[in-house]
Chain A
Amino acid sequence: MTLNVERVSVALGGTTVLGQVSMTVPDGGFTALLGPNGSGKSTLLRTVYRARRPDSGRVLVDGTDIWAMPAAWAARRTGVLAQEHHSGFEFTVTETVTMGRTPHLKGLDRLSRKDHDVVGQALEQTGLTRFATRRVGELSGGERQRVLLARALAQQPRMLVLDEPTNHLDVRHQLEILELVRGLGVTVVAALHGLDLAARYADTVVVLQEGRIVADGSPSTVLTGDLVRDVFEVAAIVDKADDGLLRVTTRPLRSGRVR
């Protein structure tokens, strides 16, 4: 599924959070949004999964304006792993993942064999099968994050929107979750903090600074020492690792205490 963001602007309390942002993610592409805290990554994603209506501009999936369609229509196409204040601790893992079927179901519909299959597969893919009957409140932060991903997978989306998907995850699970997402073959838009992760998994990186896109393109063209220093205010050495992939090493511009 192709995503087109066309000149989207959002203001919060009189401050411009996003100014005329445009980008395109081709079908099956993986685009990483990079930028320091407060650069507008989450807000941009929120306009894509229908949590915040843009003040102007359009968000199109396969040419259709998602804000002109019913919420469930969008949720049948786009799965979301957002930064949630975790709640719903009293539900079991299976109950939570089953909620991913919501946009596909009406009122009193019972779960079909297919629904059960989809949920079972999502649990398996995320390694949660053995937690199926546990309550979400009993799980660790990383396990909860995987529950949220499983819920998004249960939507059977053709596009995944991920906001800091590697939050709360240990190194192994960070890599696993992105490997998994990459392997699905669906369109992916992900806000990432780790420049290395972006370089490794994204086809395209889009760099945001103060609500505007300052660079976009392939990781190797965009992620230069100059750009990282200008946008993130850290010193960076960008080189190739043994496996041929981009490696970004960062250190503070000045050593000493955090100001």
Chain B
Amino acid sequence: MSVAAVRVRRSLEAATVPYPMILGVLGAAVVVSVVVATGIGPVRIAAGEVTSILLHHLGGGGDTAANADLIVWRLRFPRVLLGAVVGAGLALAGAVVQSVVRNPVADPYLLGLSSGASVGAVAVITTGVSALGAMTLPVAAFAGAAAAMAVVLLLARHRGRLLPLRLILVGVTCGHLLGGVTSFMLARAENSSAQQQIIFWLLGALSGANWSVLGAPSAVVVAGCFWLLLRARRLNVLVLGDEASAGLGVNASRLRLELLLVTTLLVGTVVAVSGGIGFVGLIVAHLARMLVGADHRRMLPVTALLGALFLVWADVAARMLITPTELPIGILTAFIGVPFFLLVMHARGLAAEGSP
């Protein structure tokens, strides 16, 4: 290998901390956080006992007390896992949308996904329809998100092309229209219990977690993450713009369409079970970029792990801050996330022109 090539390899790996170590530390932090967070609640359960209960259920044996077992396995563990999955999914989707529209203040909801989901969910809550049993609300929310994205894509498409500015304009406009519909239904809601339910849904909550709602989002987030990694190189190219993409053999409009369909799947399934949790999708990708740079091959896995970590702890705060009542998690993501983000940004001296 030539001297120049060695230099290239070094400069690609020039991060102060080796990348595999960052990935390892974050992965371990997620596992530890899930165990510790499962132990936290009105009934405190030591991390050691949580571990043995989890190992017992995962096939490792060991004796567990029936009461603690119920709390850990039935109630808290699925919820903490859902937090991790939702956090990872929203953070990934945020990173993708920021690159698709080449705008650092974009988030997964920019293109009307959450507004569409909200219309579906709120319609179910206000009308009391329950055609699909417990799954009625998630299915309606997903359908709302998918329909909103379909409309946005159709309207934004112009002469076979899908360009960032048009996407943003159409997405934001449709989002406002759908927001109006939601507000209308909220104002017209018959009773205050329905209104309370709606507000909780709009701000997001993981209180609906149980084993049955965990499957779909987990599968979609894991598959989505892998799919995105396969396209990470082309995502890098997309950030350079349409002309550069053409020259490098990447059809920017088609890649945008594919990425937005996957984003819809990710955000749709996640929002369907957790409501419109804000802020995760906006900020986590930026933290990942500050940590490992802008190359999607490096930042996407870090984004997913950071998103999981962040939401697990935001949910602990949502459960514990004003016990015995619970706060919508969207309030906590803003309260914890904004100061934390500003602190990190200040420490790292993020240039204003920095991100895509």
Asked if A75 meets B295 with Cβ closer than 8 Å, knowing A89-B354, A98-B12, A121-B2, the reply is: no
Asked if A132 meets B7 with Cβ closer than 8 Å, knowing A49-B247, A51-B247, A82-B247, the reply is: yes
Is B246 within 8 A of A107, CB to CB?
no
Is B237 within 8 A of A102, CB to CB?
yes
Is B4 within 8 A of A75, CB to CB?
no
Asked if A129 meets B247 with Cβ closer than 8 Å, knowing A85-B241, A87-B239, A116-B9, the reply is: no
Is A51 within 8 A of B242, CB to CB?
yes
A76 at the interface (CB under 8 A from B): yes
Asked if A105 meets B11 with Cβ closer than 8 Å, knowing A75-B249, A124-B4, the reply is: no
**What are the residues of chain B within 8 A of A82 when measuring CB–CB?**
243-244, 246-247
A83 at the interface (CB under 8 A from B): yes
In the complex, how many angstroms separate the beta carbon of A205 from the nearest chain B beta carbon? 23
Is A50 within 8 A of B351, CB to CB?
no
Interface-side segment among B41-49, B73-81, B214-222, B227-235? B227-235
Is B244 within 8 A of A105, CB to CB?
no
Q: List 23 A-B contacts (CB under 8 A).
A: A46-B246, A50-B246, A50-B247, A51-B242, A73-B249, A84-B240, A85-B241, A88-B241, A90-B289, A90-B293, A90-B355, A94-B12, A95-B12, A99-B240, A103-B249, A107-B233, A117-B1, A117-B5, A120-B2, A121-B2, A123-B4, A132-B7, A137-B353
Instruction: Write the B293-304 contact mask toward A (1 if CB under 8 angstroms, else 0).
Output: 111000000000
**What are the residues of chain B within 8 A of A133 when measuring CB–CB?**
11, 14
- List A24-60 residues whose CB lies under 8 Å from chain B: 46, 49-51
- List 6 additional contacts besides A113-B5, A121-B4; criterion CB under 8 Å: A80-B246, A82-B247, A84-B243, A89-B354, A91-B236, A133-B14
Asked if A129 meets B7 with Cβ closer than 8 Å, knowing A71-B251, A88-B356, the reply is: yes
CA separation between A96 and B2, bound complex, in Å? Answer: 20
**What are the residues of chain A within 8 A of B242 when measuring CB–CB?**
51
CA separation between A99 and B240, bound complex, in Å? Answer: 10
B203 at the interface (CB under 8 A from A): no
Is B293 within 8 A of A155, CB to CB?
no
A219 at the interface (CB under 8 A from B): no
CA separation between A49 and B250, bound complex, in Å? Answer: 11
CA separation between A35 and B355, bound complex, in Å? Answer: 37
CA separation between A121 and B166, bound complex, in Å? Answer: 39
- List B154-178 residues whose CB lies under 8 Å from chain A: none
| Cβ-neighbour of A120 out of B7, B231, B244, B295 (below 8 A) | B7
**What are the residues of chain B within 8 A of A214 when measuring CB–CB?**
none
Asked if A120 meets B8 with Cβ closer than 8 Å, knowing A71-B250, A75-B247, A137-B354, the reply is: yes
**What are the residues of chain B within 8 A of A161 when measuring CB–CB?**
247
**What are the residues of chain A within 8 A of B356 when measuring CB–CB?**
87-88, 90
Is A88 within 8 A of B12, CB to CB?
no
Asked if A116 meets B1 with Cβ closer than 8 Å, knowing A89-B354, A108-B230, the reply is: yes
CA separation between A161 and B246, bound complex, in Å? Answer: 12
CA separation between A94 and B355, bound complex, in Å? Answer: 17
Asked if A102 meets B4 with Cβ closer than 8 Å, knowing A84-B243, A88-B239, A94-B12, the reply is: no
A79 at the interface (CB under 8 A from B): yes
Which among A83, A107, A111, A120 has the highest number of chain B CB atoms within 10 Å? A120
- List A124-170 residues whose CB lies under 8 Å from chain B: 124, 129, 132-133, 137, 148, 151-152, 155, 161
Q: Which residue of B lies closest to A80 (CB)?
A: B247
| Cβ-neighbour of A113 out of B1, B234, B354 (below 8 A) | B1
In the complex, how many angstroms separate the beta carbon of B196 from the nearest chain A beta carbon? 43
**What are the residues of chain A within 8 A of B9 when measuring CB–CB?**
116
CA separation between A155 and B247, bound complex, in Å? Answer: 10
Q: Which residue of A lies closest to B251 (CB)?
A: A71
Instruction: Write the A65-82 contact mask toward B (1 if CB under 8 angstroms, else 0).
Output: 000001111111011101
A211 at the interface (CB under 8 A from B): no
Is B230 within 8 A of A107, CB to CB?
yes
**What are the residues of chain A within 8 A of B223 when measuring CB–CB?**
none
**What are the residues of chain B within 8 A of A70 when measuring CB–CB?**
249
CA separation between A138 and B243, bound complex, in Å? Answer: 22
**What are the residues of chain A within 8 A of B32 when measuring CB–CB?**
none
In the complex, how many angstroms separate the beta carbon of A196 from the nearest chain B beta carbon? 27
B248 at the interface (CB under 8 A from A): yes
Asked if A116 meets B294 with Cβ closer than 8 Å, knowing A49-B246, A49-B247, A87-B356, the reply is: no
Is A119 within 8 A of B244, CB to CB?
no
Q: Which residue of B lies closest to A152 (CB)?
A: B247
A92 at the interface (CB under 8 A from B): yes
**What are the residues of chain A within 8 A of B234 when measuring CB–CB?**
102
Q: Ordered nearest first, which 5 A-B pairs have the shortest CB separation? A: A75-B249, A120-B4, A80-B247, A72-B249, A51-B246
